Amino acid sequence: MLFNSYMFLFGYLPVVLLGYQIAATWHRRAVVAWLSLMSLLFYGCWRPAYLFLLCGSILFNYLAGSLLSGAIPTQLPKRLLLWAAIVCNLGALCYFKYLFPLLNFAAVVTDVSHRWQDAVLPLGISFFTFTQIAYLVDLEQGAARQQDLASYSLFVTFFPHLIAGPILHHAEIMPQFQTHRDYRLKAHDLSVGASWFIMGLCKKVLLADKIAPAAITAFADPGSLHAFSAWVGSLAYALQLYFDFSGYSDMAIGLARLFGIEFPLNFSSPYKSESIIDFWQRWHMTLTRYIMSYVYNPIAVAINRRRVRQGKKISRKATATAEGFLSLVALPTTMTMFLAGVWHGAGLQFLVFGLLHAVYLSINHAWRVRRQTKGKAVEGRRATAMLTRLSGVATTFLAVLVAQIFFRATGVQAALAMLGGMLGLHRHVPLALQAYKPTHGTLLLLLAGYIIVWGMPNTQQILSRFVPSSELTSFDRAEGGVRIFWQPRAAWGLVLGLVFFLILVKMQDPSTFLYFQF
């Protein structure tokens, strides 16, 4: 079931809200049970067979959590239990995400009777797997408390985030269902949540889906594209991915807010970033937080301890040396982004995507180390601050664009072919044989899209007066430019009502979200 479908908007969601309101008049447990049940139904509507996988994962990790927390007595070491649970979780993830593609390929080549190629990757398996691993790690470290099965199930399956994030931390969500509060629907939450949801739905239906055909056609045969067509196709995909993922993140936050639940922000105008470090603090923010806490930091700590045992320094001064920088910064960054690239997919192109960002981040960190050593000499150049900012945004966007080509392409060769087209290496291809020729409508849509991306406030900035200030990022607070503030007034209701009507008219054939494949 898709957020951008009539079934969800006029069937599933009203039923969930009505049942929630009824359950809220009884008891907290009724609320938790109802939302858990309907979240499982939401997942099962897509492919019922994989509902068993989701439920099995929940039961397994709940049992593992009970052992780690001591709710079920055991003589086994907690660290051994934790690693066994992590291996089982990652084993299931690797089986469905990486072994299936190999089996599919083998089935196509050998034409065996068992059609593995009919198997589909379970939706959201990466998200609900990593959510539960983080919970187990925190339980083992004493940073989390064991929950009852219904509450734990709701934490994992709550339908707004189940398929494509944000990646939730138990400390953010579980307390919101534990507090003794009035669970009944409130007009304030409904108005803010519905507005947030409609803005996200607008990004998906009226922007991402409209620019998608240009990207799909261009990437279908990148080897036949001349420079202009290749650039348009690449820029179209960058815009499609931006609005598709931003739209989903907004819809997830808006849906949760309908029930009075606050989700963490997951997207903060990443194409406005002035550096690649800033980009990863704005793009898929909960993933960045996750890999920093559970991947990068453990790797960095292990490297630091090893250096200490070897008698080497781990100070900031050591980081300024070539050997120290490679060991303390570049190595953990590369290992982390390698794993992040593999997380996104089984193809070699995803590995290149991760390693490209590892190189970008290492260069960016090296530049910051250099600035710290130069100090005042660099900070004194304030006359060119605007030019420096614009060049930083342009350089960062270009670097991201190159990596996104590998992210989108069907393979490394296809990505290199697209890059070759952008560099003008396909001049030998006759114009008449080009697979893709941009239309005036596509160019106008691209222009409008990038004006919105770089010139307009994002959703949380528009709704900033009704969002806890602690939730807003430093980027959201600092950025100036055009200022638009949502208010619970008739004018805003009329505008969003007209936008919603236009969405319903255009939403004839709902498309899936790009991050569903991860």
Q: Which residues are catalytic?
A: 344
Q: Residue 128's Cα: distance from chain center in Å? A: 13
CA dist 40 and 444 (Å) reads 42
Handedness of CA 425, 430, 431, 435 (dihedral sign): negative
Distance CA 366, CA 329 (A): 9
Residue 484 CA: distances (Å) to CA of 106, 199, 204, 321, 459:
54, 13, 20, 47, 10
Contacts of 195 (CB under 8 A, 6+ apart): 254, 463, 486, 492, 496
Distance CA 170, CA 168 (A): 6
Closest-CA residue to 350 (of 407, 404, 399, 401): 407
CB within 8 Å of 487: residues ≥ 6 apart: 465
Query: Cα separation of 341 and 330, whole Å?
Result: 16
| Torsion angles phi and psi, residue 259, rounded to 5 | -95, 10
In the beta sheet, which residues pair with residue 267?
Answer: 283
b (16+ CB within 10 A) / e for 207-230: bbbbbbebbebbbebbbbbbeebb
Query: Which amino acid appears at position 31 of this protein?
Result: V
